Amino acid sequence: MAKNHWLGKMLLQPSFSQLFHLYVILFCFTPTHAQFLPEPRAGPGLLLFTQPVYNACISENSATRTYTRSDVKMGIILAPPRSLSISYSIVSRDDEGIFEAEEFVMGDFCFLRIHTKGGDSGMLNREVQDNYTLIVKASAQGGLEALATVYIKVLDTNDLRPLFSPVSYSFVVPENAPLGASIGRVTATDADMGSNGEFYYFFGDKVKDFAVHPTSGVITLTGQPSVDKQDRFELEVQVVDRGMKLYGNTGVSGTARLVLTVQRVNEFAPVLSAVAVVPSWMDSDPIYAVVTVEDRDEGVSGDIEWVSIIEGDPLEQFVVDRSPLGNEYRVKTTEFVDWDTFPYGCNLTFQAKDRGIPAKLSNIQVVQLQLTKPEPLLPKFHKGVYVAKLSEIAPPGTIVEVVKVTPASPSVNYSFSSLSDPVYFEINYLTGVITTTRHLKTISQDFMELKVVETISQEQTTVQIIIEDANDNSPVFNRPFYDVAFNESTPIGTVLLVVSAVDHDKGENGRVTHTISGEESLPFAIDPDSGEVRVTKDLDYESSDDIYTFAVRASDWGSPYRRESEVNVTVRLININDNRPLFERVSCRGMISRDFPVGQTIVALSVVDIDELEMVKYQILSGNDLDYFQINPDSGALSLKRSLAVENIKTGIFNFKVIATDGELFSEPTFVNVSVVRGRIPPRSFTCKETRVAQLLAEKMLSKASAKARPRPDEQSTDVFSVNKQAPQFEALPTSILVREDLPAGASVFQVRARDGDAGFNGRVLFSISDGNKENYTVSAHAVYEMPVSLCSQPYFNTRKVLGICYLLYSHQINRIRVSTEILART
């Protein structure tokens, strides 16, 4: 009875779990059309389930004692008198012991309820096993038994997160890809079913040029990336579940690394344009066609890899050379072409190829080359008059000029005309290079004219040589040193002396500028052109230095290096009487008694004469009309001349006006007031006003001492700029040199160094080949003066001076020739 009462309460007041189970059953199972069959009932000798097979479901990862759900009642109907006690158990197909069966009697029905066991039993995982088939046995007293089969379907929950596979992606983005183009696809998988297995893709950070489809994972182009701005993008793609997670976690589930490489696209093919050129037979390096190529692509795709002759040159007599600037190419010959064998010219076919990936070829263009051979030309010199400039200090072997006849002939012979026969020059009979043979310092004229003849053709030309002045003379002063004295009262702007130098060079090389070397605080200045030394400050013998010694530097305006000389100048200051005597104390006043002794000092006056040239004398100008007092002219002591005690003086106050003089100048007067009183007067009864003259004198003496302590330059210092004492010395010089016969013109053959310990211009070194280069070689000396480049291309060897280093440059092709040369280093 109690049991039925409890059961009744359960039916009247269903629990929350029962309502939840009812909701899940209604949610999980689709409606079916019920067939009303007679229900078997269990009697005293019969035990039967309502159905032999039942279908139930349960969610995966269910907690302990979670019941399965079914859309039908599972169990046995109890027949009256309902005295059977039935129990259920799972007899097979639950190897892991996940489920457990129990009975529940309500009214005339004994429900079969199956729930998860928990404890050490396994967990439900749909991804591992999505259904179970259980054999359930019902047992009752009296040995009654019945069997039923229960099919349990494991329902999916959103317990797994989506994961990328693979976790890294790399795609190439063509630079010209259109907007919206698909670049690639990222993929993630979620083992859950249905909506639990759905997810979204998105970028972790804000991305401008790319987008990812939220469901398909396709990467599309939303901008126009440029290789020049950024050629590589490293992005992070994230994925998240669409549904609610089992435990409420809705964060990012997985990430993948996405690398996008922007690739430049070779979009345009090169455009080739060729134009034939008719060269002159006088050209030493003729051009037969000019080819221009343009490619609208940018970067490497716009660069031209080659321009080639693809047809029309089976003997490979032509070559295509690229110009230093731009995409212009010039067609030249690799060897001599006998155009007589091509009476109708030749057709060359050109094509170009760029460096893009994949490479593209240009259009094909055919150009006809046709050259008519002119009548033979008589050899003539390049110029009717050659003008060359040469420094007067050029060493022997210096190239002056190169004369040539054109067209070039395999046999030439250059020489000076018999009318010229120069002594200072020689000409190479094969190359036409004119060089010096001796120093030019002894030549008085600055212009020379040579006549050159090519003896085979008898052609003549004139070479005019202008000998330029070199800065090889230093300025010279007219005295070895200068010494001058002047009064301290000399006014500002007065010219003390003229310190000037003369330079015997010409033009700018002989123009001299004067400066005071080193000293900045001198009271003098020098005119840079005339050399006049003037006073620039007020001078005072008593407070400044009385002897000034400094150096005057004379510099010429020569090029490329200036020459300088220095001379010492001594200026002496003469002291004059330009300061008046000054009293140390003024306005003295005091008292004396009537019986003051005669001759005893009443008060002593003192003056200071800063000039210190003459003795100072004192005298009373006024106030001593009665002649009672006197002043010592040397010491300045005031005393009584007559006794006051025996005199009947009317007044007891005397006011004296006293001055001092050095013989020329007088001091300002001072006044001494003396009062005569009766009785004794204590000592030191006189008071005076201090003028601080002694302190002024001390300050002037200190200033003078400081000025005298200034370091003086050595009066016998040597002018290191004008002395050329040391000869240049080679550091190392090879005795023999091996030169490859295929060495290109202009290549460096060897290097030699020389040093000179002199200062300034005298320490500069100039190089030249002095001997061993008479027949087939000439030399160009590059040292102080830069020679024309064209001169360096003619001889086999020439020297170039760079920072004191001599480079022997190879200027012509050599065909197994042994050369012996001597190199001269000269200052």
Q: What is the residue range of 357's domain? A: 271-369
CA distance 483 to 481: 7
Q: How confident is the model at residue 776 (pLDDT cuts 50, 70, 90)?
A: very low
Tokens 């001379």 identify what position?
567
In order of 493, 552, 553, 587, the CA distances from 500 in angstroms are: 18, 9, 10, 57
Condensed to tens digits (0 to 9), the pLDDT of residues 583-612 reads 888 889 888 888 888 888 888 888 887 766
DSSP letter at 666 equals B
H or E segment and range at residue 698: helix 693-708
From 769, 764, 762, select the one nearest 733 (Cα to Cα). Answer: 769
H or E segment and range at residue 7: helix 2-12
Mean pLDDT of all residues in 360-370? 89
44 exposed, middle or buried (CB, 10 Å; 0-12, 13-18, 19+)? exposed
Mean pLDDT of all residues in 399-419? 86
Residue 365 in domain: yes
CA 401 to chain centre: 44
**How many other CB atoms sit within 10 Å of the CB of residue 666?**
14
Strand partners, 734: none
Residue 714 in domain: no
**Mode of pairing for the β-strands spanning 607-608 and 163-164:** unpaired
In the structure encoding, which two tokens stand for residue 283, read together? 């050209």
Does 595 share its domain with 736?
A: no
CA 239 to chain centre: 46
Q: How confident is the model at residue 665 (pLDDT cuts 50, 70, 90)?
A: confident
Does 233 share its domain with 106?
A: no
| pLDDT for position 28 | 44
Q: Which residues contact 472 (CB under 8 A, 6 or more apart)?
A: 392, 393, 441, 505
Domain end call among 664, 690, 716: 690
CA 404 to chain centre: 49
In the structure encoding, which two tokens stand for residue 609, read together? 């004469």
More confident residue, 473 or 88: 88
Amino acid occupying residue 466: I
Phi, psi (degrees; rounded to nearest 5) at 510: -100, 0
**Mode of pairing for the β-strands spanning 131-140 and 109-116:** unpaired
**How many other CB atoms sit within 10 Å of the CB of residue 558?**
23
Q: Which residues contact 273 (CB under 8 A, 6 or more apart)?
A: 291, 292, 293, 294, 365
Mean pLDDT of all residues in 483-510? 88
Residue 299 in domain: yes
Condensed to tens digits (0 to 9), the pLDDT of residues 97-133 reads 888 899 999 988 999 999 998 776 678 888 888 899 9
Mean pLDDT of all residues in 386-390? 92
More confident residue, 745 or 141: 141
CA 481 to chain centre: 52
Question: Are 361 and 732 in contact, with CB atoms under 8 Å apart?
Answer: no
Domain end call among 451, 468, 485: 468
The HSE-up count of residue 284 (CA atoms within 13 Å, CB side) is 7
Does 131 share its domain with 11?
A: yes
More confident residue, 9 or 318: 318
Residue 218 Ramachandran class (φ > 0 left, ψ -120 to 50 alpha, else beta): beta
Does 451 share its domain with 494?
A: no
CATH code (residue 168): 2.60.40.60
**Mode of pairing for the β-strands spanning 425-427 and 433-436:** antiparallel
Condensed to tens digits (0 to 9), the pLDDT of residues 543-586 reads 777 788 899 999 998 877 788 889 999 988 887 777 788 888 88
Q: For the chain, how many helices (H) and strands (E)?
A: 4, 58
Strand partners, 595: none
630 exposed, middle or buried (CB, 10 Å; 0-12, 13-18, 19+)? middle
In order of 414, 439, 449, 574, 781, the CA distances from 393 in angstroms are: 26, 7, 19, 50, 12
Does 13 share its domain with 129?
A: yes
Does 541 share its domain with 673?
A: no
Does 300 share its domain with 183?
A: no
| Sheet with 729-732: strands ordered across | 729-732, 747-755, 805-810, 797-802
Residue 568 in domain: yes
Question: Are 738 and 768 in contact, with CB atoms under 8 Å apart?
Answer: no
Question: Are 679 and 593 in contact, with CB atoms under 8 Å apart?
Answer: yes
Q: Which residues contact 327 (CB under 8 A, 6 or more apart)?
A: 292, 293, 294, 295, 304
Total domains present in the chain: 7
pLDDT of 799 > 80? The answer is no
Residue 712 in domain: no
Residue 765 in domain: yes
CA angle at 758 for the pair 760 and 769, rounded to the nearest 5° = 95
**How many other CB atoms sit within 10 Å of the CB of residue 447?**
9
Condensed to tens digits (0 to 9), the pLDDT of residues 690-711 reads 888 777 777 777 766 666 666 6
Q: With pLDDT > 70 as the criterion, what percentage of the chain qualifies?
A: 79
Condensed to tens digits (0 to 9), the pLDDT of residues 606-642 reads 888 776 656 888 888 888 888 888 989 888 888 888 8
Residue 310 Ramachandran class (φ > 0 left, ψ -120 to 50 alpha, else beta): alpha
Tokens 């310990």 identify what position?
757
pLDDT of 748 > 90? The answer is no
Output the CA torsion 579→580→584→588 (10° steps).
Answer: -160
Does 316 share its domain with 427?
A: no
Mean pLDDT of all residues in 221-227? 87
Residue 707 in domain: no
DSSP code per residue over 40-66: PEEBTTB---S-SEEEEEEETTPPTTP
CA distance 583 to 667: 8
Q: Is the dihedral of CA 380, 385, 390, 392 positive or negative?
A: positive
From 678, 674, 681, 682, select the one nearest 657 (Cα to Cα). Answer: 674
SS (H, E, C) 674-694: EEEECCCCCCCCCEEEECCHH
Q: Is the dihedral of CA 93, 99, 103, 106 positive or negative?
A: negative
pTM of the entire structure? 0.40
From 661, 614, 617, 611, select the one nearest 635 (Cα to Cα). Answer: 617
pLDDT of 307 > 80? The answer is yes
From 664, 817, 667, 807, select the one nearest 741 (Cα to Cα). Answer: 817
Does 613 share its domain with 482?
A: no
Domain end call among 315, 348, 369: 369
Radius of gyration of the chain (CA): 62
**Cα first-last separation, the chain:** 140
Does 8 share its domain with 143?
A: yes
- Coil/strand/helix, residue 77: strand
Q: How confident is the model at residue 745 (pLDDT cuts 50, 70, 90)?
A: low
| pLDDT for position 213 | 93
In order of 545, 550, 697, the CA distances from 710 in angstroms are: 9, 12, 21
Q: Which residues contact 113 (CB under 8 A, 6 or more apart)?
A: 67, 68, 74, 101, 102, 103, 104
Average pLDDT, the chain: 78
Residue 615 in domain: yes
Lowest-confidence pick of 244-253, 284-293, 818-827:
818-827
Mean pLDDT of all residues in 526-548? 84
Does 436 share its domain with 488?
A: no
CA 319 to chain centre: 42
Does 319 share its domain with 405?
A: no
Question: 714-719: which pairs have CB atoms within 8 A and are 24 or more residues apart?
Answer: 715/481, 715/549, 715/568, 715/570, 716/568, 717/551, 717/566, 717/568, 719/564, 719/565, 719/566, 719/567
